[in-house]
Amino acid sequence: MSAGPALEQRIAELTQRHVPFVKATVVRARRPASAHPGDTALVLADGSIEGFVGGVCAEATVRVQALRTLRSGESLLLRISPGSPGADDPGEPGEIEDGALAVANPCLSGGELEIFLEPLRPAPRVAVVGDTPIARALLAFGPALGYDITPDGEVVQDADAVVVASHGWDEAPALTVAARAGIPYVGLVASPKRGAAVVADLDLTREERARIRTPAGVWIGARTPGEVAVSILAEVIASLRAATVAEPEPRSAVDPVCGMTVAIAADTPYADAGGERHWFCCPACRDRYAEAG
């Protein structure tokens, strides 16, 4: 399936909803591969695949590597063949060279595929509460970092960061909503004494209060509103990057039949035997496992 109107519409929908996904596009195919150059699929964070970039065996490899690129944020040219050089173990990649990765897929009936994996992650959402010089500086500087800045409005429930810079106006409602929502970064612009008092008076649990950083920003000796905004954005960057590093690796397992590494998703074939669940790259491997047992 090429990136036709339906898939393009789906891309627009996911982008509008701030849903991360990977766009996988076949750029080269050697027979008897079932995919063709231009075939496209979308891989979502839950491992679901929409579109077509090859049969179930190729799809299993695409899912594993797409989820890894979604986590790293780096594009990748994926080369899949029955015996790709540089891959010591079936289904496990060799070394990345010049943005390309070779993976051996022993389940392929032949042919080779080259698929470009492009992770499309939404711009971090930063809600700025307040109409003060510091708030305006945040609104001015944030877009340069690629952030989606929401000015002086309601706290977006799925925001990545909330900065309350209203200097005493409507602080409690915004901080309460943000802390309860578990937003990764919540900062309050205030002096240490006033900030501590504001947080202490909030109707929050101790864990929720601990999420609020006040005074917001890292220490750089900032004095002007612009300098304070830079210090706050530096803290936001550090917080969001730390959260990305802390994300767990996508769940995976080794197919006991072919030795492929497969991503565990809702539609990944599996079989229960001996009190354990075994995952497979395709129904054919699952069936062979059942027959052997």
pLDDT tens per residue, range 86-134: 444 444 555 677 788 888 777 666 678 899 999 999 899 999 999 999 9
pTM: 0.71
Question: 113 with 129, same domain?
Answer: no
Nearest Cα residue to 63 out of 244, 266, 258: 266
Which pLDDT value is given to residue 87?
45
Report the alpha-carbon distance of residue 15 to residue 89 in Å, rounded. 36
Percent of the chain with pLDDT over 70: 89
Other CB atoms within 10 A of residue 65 CB: 22
Question: 35 with 129, same domain?
Answer: no
Which pLDDT value is given to residue 248?
65
Q: What is the pLDDT of residues 44-91, one digit of tens each?
A: 998 999 999 988 778 888 999 999 999 888 999 999 887 644 444 444
Q: Give a yes or no: residue 271 inside a domain.
A: yes
Token pair in block for residue 212: 């609020």
The answer to whether 87 and 95 are in contact (CB under 8 A) is no
Give Cβ neighbours of residue 30 (< 8 Å, ≥ 6 apart).
111, 112, 113
Report the alpha-carbon distance of residue 23 to residue 57 in Å, rounded. 18
Q: Which secondary-structure segment (H or E) carries 133?
A: helix 133-141
Report the alpha-carbon distance of residue 216 to residue 188 in Å, rounded. 5
263, β-bridge pairs: 252
CA dist 140 → 1, 136, 150 (Å):
42, 6, 11
Q: Give a yes or no: residue 254 inside a domain.
A: no
Which pLDDT value is given to residue 78?
93
Question: 14 with 71, same domain?
Answer: yes
Give me the residue label for tokens 């492929």: 260
Which pLDDT value is given to residue 40?
95
Q: Give a yes or no: residue 140 inside a domain.
A: yes
Question: 239 with 155, same domain?
Answer: yes
Q: Give a yes or no: residue 293 inside a domain.
A: no
Which pLDDT value is given to residue 93?
54
DSSP conformational letter for 144: G
Question: 24 with 102, same domain?
Answer: yes
The answer to whether 229 and 134 are in contact (CB under 8 A) is yes
Domain holding 57, by residue range, is: 5-122+259-288
| Widest Cα–Cα separation across the chain | 73
Report the alpha-carbon distance of residue 202 to residue 174 in Å, rounded. 11
Question: 47 with 64, same domain?
Answer: yes
Q: Is the peptide bond before 32 cis (omega within 30 degrees of 0)?
A: yes
Higher pLDDT, 135 or 259: 135
Task: Kindly calculate the radius of gyration of the chain based on its CA atoms and give it in whole angstroms.
Answer: 24
Q: Give a yes or no: residue 251 inside a domain.
A: no
Which pLDDT value is given to residue 86?
45
Q: Give a yes or no: residue 85 inside a domain.
A: yes
Question: 118 with 136, same domain?
Answer: no
Token pair in block for residue 220: 């750089």
Q: Which secondary-structure segment (H or E) carries 74?
A: none
Report the alpha-carbon distance of residue 25 to residue 194 in Å, rounded. 54
**Quick one: average pLDDT of 235-244?**
87
Q: Give a yes or no: residue 138 inside a domain.
A: yes
Q: Give a yes or no: residue 232 inside a domain.
A: yes
Give me the residue label for tokens 């195919």: 29
Q: What is the domain count for the chain?
A: 2
Question: 110 with 223, same domain?
Answer: no
Q: For residue 161, what is the domain's CATH number?
A: 3.40.50.720
Question: 137 with 96, same domain?
Answer: no
| Average pLDDT value over all residues in the chain | 86
**Quick one: average pLDDT of 140-168?**
87
Question: 275 with 215, same domain?
Answer: no
Q: Which range is least confidently modeled, 119-123, 191-195, 242-246?
A: 242-246
Say yes or no to pLDDT of 197 above 60.
Answer: yes
Question: 273 with 203, same domain?
Answer: no
- Torsion 81-87-89-95 (CA) sign: negative
Cα 291 to chain center, whole Å? 38
Residue 261 sits at the vertex; the CA angle it makes with 40 and 285, to the nearest 5 degrees, is 90
Question: 97 with 45, same domain?
Answer: yes
Size of the chain, expressed as the number of residues it contains: 293
Report the alpha-carbon distance of residue 38 to residue 53 in Å, rounded. 9
